[in-house]
Amino acid sequence: MPPAVAPAGHTTKENIMYRTLFTAIAALAFLAGCAGGPGAQGDPLAGTGWLLDTLNGSPVLAEAAVTLNFGADGALSGSDGCNQYNTTYTVSGSSLTIAQPIATTRMACPDPVMQQGSAYLEALGSAASYDLKSGKLSLADSGGTTLATFSAQSADLAGTSWDVISYNNGQQAVVSVMAASQLTADFGLDGDLTGFAGCNDYNASYVTSGTDGLQFGPVASTR
């Protein structure tokens, strides 16, 4: 079925469907963490994004991508492999303080993923210093024991594919995707965005700018 732009005067049900689609796409800007962006004064971590490699000396589960994003304004966010989390952080030299408690969504996942997520958030709370070298980041506790190691996330969206795990519901809340539903986004090399919105396929254009700028063109969808 060819894609069709949502027509004017569509029903309340269609309004909800398209609003959900638009907010899910907007949430991808949060998922696409950037690496190597310009830091704030005295903060080399600001504007960077990372993917967890090891936790407490062990490799992470292959099925659970754990991310860490440092905002230029002192915000810290990411995914623990199951739930989204956010808090704030401060840097002084090589010292790192991550504010507690860390706020998270409440999605349920398989036990191994949930256990890893809890251990990861506990490690973040224990972090006292960081080391940043050659596209690698490590966090250590106050005794110098390495808690977690990360690799830099790619800043280039072109040619990447994503599964949406949470989105803004339009009511100032980030919610998890419904069970048994799948929302996807595929960023083409030619500036085209395609994907599945849980019921219909959609497409749009996209443009990136700088290290974290992302804009979408009008969204078309099947019916």
Residue pLDDT, tens place only, 143-195: 999 999 999 876 678 778 888 888 888 887 777 888 777 888 988 877 888 99
Q: What is the pLDDT at residue 30? A: 40
Residue 5 has pLDDT above 60, yes or no: no
Q: What's the CA gap between 195 and 218, in Å, rounded?
A: 14
> Where are the CATH 2.40.128.270 domain residues in the chain?
48-152
152-to-155, 156, 168, 191, 209 alpha-carbon distances in Å: 9, 12, 26, 23, 19
Both tokens of 151, joined, read: 């690799």
**Mean pLDDT of all residues in 5-15:** 39
Residue 89 has pLDDT above 90, yes or no: yes
CB atoms within 10 A of CB 25: 22
**Mean pLDDT of all residues in 66-72:** 88
Query: Who has greater pLDDT, 179 or 50?
Result: 50
Average pLDDT, the chain: 79
Q: What's the CA gap between 4 and 203, in Å, rounded?
A: 10
Q: Is 117 exposed, middle or buried (0-12, 13-18, 19+ CB in 10 A)?
A: buried
First-to-last C-alpha distance (Å) of the chain: 8
Residue 119 has pLDDT above 90, yes or no: yes
- What is the pTM (predicted TM-score) of this model? 0.59
Q: What is the pLDDT at residue 41? A: 56
Q: What is the pLDDT at residue 212? A: 66
Both tokens of 114, joined, read: 């949930």
Residue 15 has pLDDT above 60, yes or no: no
- CATH class in words for 48-152: mainly beta
